Amino acid sequence: MRLPLAVLALCVSAGLARAAPDAQDFETIARGRALTVAADCQACHTAPGGQPFAGGRPIETPFGTILSSNITPDPDTGIGGWSDHDFVAVLQKGRGRDGQHIYPAMPYTYTARATHEDDLAIRAYLATLPPVRRAVNDDTLPFPFNIRAALGIWDRLFFTKGTFRPVPVKSAEWNRGAYLVTGLEHCGMCHTPKNLLGGDRSGRALQGYALQGWFAPNITDDRRRGLGSWSVDDIVSYLRTGHNRFAAAAGPMAEEVWVSSQGDDMADLHAIAVYLKDQPGQDVSAAPLDPHRPDMAAGAAIYADRCSACHTPDGAGVAGLFPRLAGGPSTQSIDPASIVRVILRGARSVSTQAAPTGPGMPSFAATLDDREVAAVATYVRNAWGNAAPAVTPARVAADRASLADRPTD
């Protein structure tokens, strides 16, 4: 076991003569911890209020809710009894210990890009955690999605095996960013559009996707709907602190920043930003709606009355505190799920060590009706140079109804 691993490690570690992973080696464990943080394993593998990594968190999928597994070293209910081979098979092949297919709620289509050596480092770190005895029901999906054999077909359609291959013409930093974004960081899990079967629409990687009542925005370099107006440093600041001069992380991204990226290596964050900035935008031309439309006029008045005290009359916001609404993806995404949600439900941005304030926006559900929410959202999406499709009162009504069933976050 040792020799081939060492050979593999030598193959992938550019210029760094690392020893074969030793499960008790300090450096391996430390690197495994950093990778576990980068991969954000803890977020999904921890139930609300539960012990870290002990699983049981409900993961929403389009086909039903799945409970995450216990990945502490408990021998019976966790992965303590697993071999390294078993562990690597999950990350690389999407196969459980018994050889059965696992559901792609576990991002194995991404973790497969990680090197064997990194997989084992994660394993080495997880083995150091306190074992937690907590059995998790892993068969919660309704028929027919509970037939795991069907996942073999899914894998053939949407799963490309194989570790990451560097692109020689790109810089080492770009390649590091690509390795993380398309691999362990699994950004596309939320930010890449999915087809009807939940597979990534790989031709539209990182162009945004609606999930959990939010729209995970386009994070390509698209000028209007993506990160085109952000610099590399803006992206690093956002991932590191949850805040930058434009935006504040809320919802699932707040959790990602809290559990994962605020603890990421600065060089890795920089690499991620460099890679994202190199993802070409779509730059589809768009014209703002006519400001004289009734909904635009009403929206402008509501904005002045309800929003401008914090977000400022020109939509510039206050850096680090009140998000900028002029420009950027959070307002101009084609799918308005996030902006409608934030107006109806309010949102709490993440409080991090580097930016502890964690400002929040209150809910306007009780003071603005569906027409008013639609009008002000439409206005914000089409003021100050913004351009995005109008939000209809029917859409707001539908979102209001579906949000009523969601727990607060």
Q: Which residues form the interface with another protein (CB under 8 A)?
A: 306, 309-310, 318-322, 346, 348, 351, 353-364, 366-367
d(CA 37, CA 231): 24
Half-sphere exposure of 30 (CA within 13 A, CB side): 4
Task: Compute the least distance from the CB of residue 313 to another protein, in Å.
Answer: 11
CA distance 30 to 202: 33
104 contacts 145 by C-beta, under 8 angstroms:
no
Instruction: Quickly list DSSP for 98-116.
Output: TS-B--TTS-HHHHTTS-H
Nearer to another protein, 136 or 259 (CB): 259
Alpha-carbon torsion (44, 48, 51, 55), positive or negative: negative
Q: How far apart are CA 228 and CA 222, in angstroms?
A: 5
When the beta carbons of 201 and 348 are compared against another protein, the nearer one is 348
Measured between alpha carbons, how far is 182 from 111 in angstroms, rounded to an integer?
8
Task: Pick the closer one to another protein by CB: 276 or 307.
Answer: 307
Q: Which is nearer to another protein, 76 or 305 (CB)?
A: 305
Report the alpha-carbon distance of residue 114 to residue 179 in Å, rounded: 7
Tell me the three state secondary structure of residue 75: coil
List beta partners, residue 46: 55
Min separation Cβ 338 and another protein, Å? 17
Report in angstroms how near the CB of residue 54 gets to another protein at its nearest: 20
Distance CA 129, CA 74 (A): 9
Provide the residue type at 104 as one letter. P
Q: Residue 38 Cβ, how far from another protein at the closest point, in Å?
A: 21
Least distance in angstroms from the C-beta of 28 to another protein = 27
Give the nearer residue to another protein in terms of CB position, either 81 or 360: 360
Task: Encode 151-171: b = buried (16+ Cβ within 10 Å), e = exposed.
Answer: beebbeebbeeebbeeeeeee
CB of 317 to another protein, least distance (A): 9
User: What minimum distance in Å lies between the beta carbon of 241 and another protein?
Assistant: 9
Nearer to another protein, 148 or 306 (CB): 306
- Which CB sits closer to another protein, 4 or 356? 356
Backbone angles phi, psi at 212, to 5 degrees: 50, 35
Minimum separation from the CB atom of position 360 to another protein (A) = 3
Q: Which of 331, 174, 141, 132 is nearest to 268 (CA)?
A: 174
**Residue 301 is encoded by which pair of tokens?**
């008045």
Q: Residue 312 or residue 392: which is nearer to another protein going by CB?
A: 312
